[in-house]
Amino acid sequence: GKVWTILDENGRQNVKEVKKAAKLTDKDLYAALGWLAREGKVAMEEVEKDIFISLS
């Protein structure tokens, strides 16, 4: 979907950047990230107070 495509095209991004690019609500964004994480397709990393997401 949208989130995977954004990460594929742009690489590692923080949650705010992905949300803005995907134009999703918080609920839909976190549902998409949860699904991708469950499938092992994304990696999440916390740096200071930001969460960065990238494709695995």
Per-residue pLDDT of 19-53, as tens digits, reads 999 999 999 999 999 999 999 999 999 999 999 99
- The mean per-residue pLDDT over the stretch 5-16 comes to 97
pLDDT of residue 25: 97
Task: Select from 8, 28, 27, 7 the least CA-distant residue to 18.
Answer: 7
Cα-Cα-Cα-Cα dihedral sign, residues 27, 32, 38, 43 = negative
| Residue 38 exposure: Cα atoms within 13 Å on the Cβ side | 6
pLDDT of residue 5: 97
pTM listed for this prediction = 0.88
pLDDT of residue 15: 97
